[in-house]
A and B are shown apart, each in its own frame.
Chain A
């Protein structure tokens, strides 16, 4: 080889070149045949496949037809969510001769904002399939439609299309109970069957709309159409009808919901009303509320900011499912636990000095009466401790009972868990125990914290939903029904019977139920005339109400401390609105044969008995009492009334 380099051998060079050229030409020939083979494969072997299916499929389009979403009714058949025709403007980019000019014209015609134009351009960019329409504006008003129609010839490529859009006729009233639908997010798009959601752009975002999405949505239908080059539909070839979503009937009672909302008036707060016979949620109110119709087809940025930026009102937050310190509303359940576990007897009584101290601790725990008069409640048994809401009795009781025993008993009432069937967004609250504190905070439990837990303060947090459930369980003597929104599927369907996964609460002495229920009726009805021996709620619920009460009402107030108040404040000085205590009240009625259980939470309401109590009665009245001021016939006992539970009522 090296010799060849010495002298340039042209023939050798040429031979080398030619051999390389032949190799190149040979490879080229092989590759040409590869191309031919490929083309023969595509055009001969696969021809039928491409010709009959694929190529035609670009002239014949399959268009999804979104199913009509199921409607939602209340228990009396009143519409809560329906579908109304809504008109929107679309544009097919390829057909728009001069998009900018058209958009400029639309700015005049329907006041298309620069923000909307920007959004449209993003959507146009994202669109992958040529000749597919892109939405310009939703919810066109009749004036908009008229303006566009008249100028249609100046807007090539633009078209008005109609579709059914969700509508909530009761607006704000049902927002938190029903939830709402809104535009599907990228994440949500991944969680649904893409085929079934072709053509659907709204999805349940909250509440019933979200939980029953699959039931409400239905099955997508298809239409095969032939389109011409400009994307216009020339004829419909075939059609598979969509299957509409199923209608849903809820336990909600629109009238009761309205009454509960009116009872809360301008307070921030939440109300849950349950039907003790089945756990159905008859009302779920959270105030302030919002108009769910704003979310249909995408909420505007300004509207959303308005809803979100109000740190005090937080209208999007559902207070009926939020967690709060229960205050003294926890006491009946704790008292029942003390009896059942044998830590207290009905007869056991303390002499209440108005405050309490743990052995070996200097910290003084005061009874709520301390700030009014320093006498305490005198001799206090469990019954009295409930109706006068004696803190000292429960400080002592809890210390003997121990936090873990409290936790185990209270959890049987659903505290610390979300016991609902179809309200997954509800908070579980906090039911503290030694184990919980170790896990949540990595700290041991201190005895003083047990004392706080006795009066529903400290770590304990419950939701109005849980309180209503517990009240219902007290009313039912331990018979469990899990709170549920859904009553049945379809207007003519059968009521869904959902057996509870929570075991009924069995007591060692079933009569303890009667004892506690009685103590709770005394909270409302007992009147001894003395300031601190009368039921805590008697004054506000009975005495100050012009209407005599038509039924026996069992209840318990709770006033949960929000901020540490000074003695002066407790003595009646003005308190900042934000520092006022939260007011709570749980109730059920009629006490002997309960038809309704309710929990009321009033944010910064200050007084459980004074503020939340009358709200609870107003709700019970609305449900139980007829126009004549008497118990409605359907709620009257069929057998002669049971012997009066309230032995000590002073009429």
Chain B
């Protein structure tokens, strides 16, 4: 394996260029991405401060996790992605074992078994790790094959996606299972699987939907769909969140009511205002201007990630970077879409803004991979 360090001493082809590396490249940091992330995190903390009713302990916790996430990002960026590619199958296997362990030893919170709490280790959700490991493994597998993938390779890839997804769905955590499926499928789509197969899968899914509704979905899940179709149906029950969040957003107007001046969140009318529904607080206090600012930050981050994917030098890096970028976008779209009443309520936090440590850490780990992809290049091209 060629790490920058070994390359320095071996005097490889790129040896002459190494000395001219700028400091960000030496540190394996992508400045545009880093800047956008920092601005987003600061803005997010401001909104969170308001949304938690100016709770200092909550801020301290979030800051702590943000710090850990940055360390994680920098740490991962130091590893050459090719190392990740080679170790992908083993890491994947480890991840699956952890998921099995969750089902056996996991801690039950709110009726779901999602957390692992080994003595001596911090409590964590193995499903979060899978958000990265699944696209990583699929990309690693496909990058060794001919593109576009053959039917057989497609099937193997689907197995790689399917095993952890089923384990996670069993916890049950359908939201995460769905998002992991999306991350894996993005790799397949980017790898160029034939549209014909995509269509077939879509048709099957469409036809299976009614059966899913009847046989598989729980009442609470059906209720979410009902509520999405008609939130006024149960204005004090399941529809409460969505009516409240739309009200918060709408009342914000163009300029917003001002930081810490949101009525909806201040009076506690908006439940989950600090987690999944934080966009509503932002929209109420910062108005349309704030929303556009938030969206442009996301656009910069995703755009930069897509660029990194586009210029990446090998197939594995391209597939992984592309999948991470698009999945990140899906988080953003699903969350804001749900809070603004475009989509049914699913438990997806607003990436990097909502309260919650594991989510920030796993997302930042993803950005660490992107930075690694972009800074461990054998042939430099300008950016």
Contact = CB atoms under 8 A, between A and B. Distances in A.
A20 B146 contact: no
21 contacts: A13-B315, A17-B147, A17-B318, A25-B306, A28-B302, A28-B326, A32-B299, A35-B295, A36-B292, A38-B337, A39-B283, A42-B246, A42-B250, A43-B254, A43-B291, A51-B253, A55-B250, A58-B264, A59-B267, A128-B237, A130-B269
B342 interface: yes
Nearest to A51: B251
Contacts of B315: 10, 13-14, 17
Contacts, number: 139
A46 B250 contact: yes
Contacts of B292: 36, 39
Band of interface residues on B: 35 or more
A130 B288 CA distance: 28
A47 B256 CA distance: 11
Contacts of A54: 243, 247, 250-251
A334 B339 CA distance: 78
B224 interface: no
Given A47-B253, A128-B240, A229-B266, 12 more contacts: A21-B190, A35-B337, A36-B291, A36-B295, A42-B250, A43-B249, A43-B283, A55-B248, A55-B263, A58-B263, A131-B268, A229-B268
Contacts of B310: 18, 21
Contacts of B189: 20, 24
Contact of A49 (B243, B250, B267): B250
B148 interface: yes
Given A24-B322, A54-B247, A34 B190 contact: no
A5 B150 contact: yes
A44 B252 CA distance: 9
Interface string A281-311: 0000000000000000000000000000000
Contact of A50 (B251, B267, B322): B251
B322 A51 contact: no
* Chain B interface SS verdict (over half): helix
B78 to A, nearest CB: 26
B309 interface: yes
The 10 A-B residue pairs with the shortest CB-CB distance in the complex, in nearest-first order:
A50-B250, A55-B251, A128-B236, A16-B192, A54-B247, A13-B147, A43-B288, A47-B253, A51-B251, A5-B146
Nearest to B321: A21
A14 B318 contact: yes
B340 A42 contact: yes
A72 B27 CA distance: 88
B333 interface: yes
Nearest to A53: B247
A543 interface: no
A17 B190 contact: yes
B201 to A, nearest CB: 16
Given A39-B340, A58-B267, A20 B190 contact: yes
A44 B254 contact: yes
Contacts of B147: 8, 12-13, 16-17
B249 A42 contact: yes
B259 interface: no
A14 B298 CA distance: 26
Contacts of A20: 189-192, 322
Contacts of A12: 147
Contact of A39 (B150, B191, B288, B309): B288
Contacts of A16: 147-148, 191-192
B364 interface: no
Interface string B302-320: 1100100110000100110
A59 B191 CA distance: 53
A58 B263 CA distance: 9
B186 interface: yes
Nearest to A17: B318
Contacts of A4: 146
B268 A40 contact: no
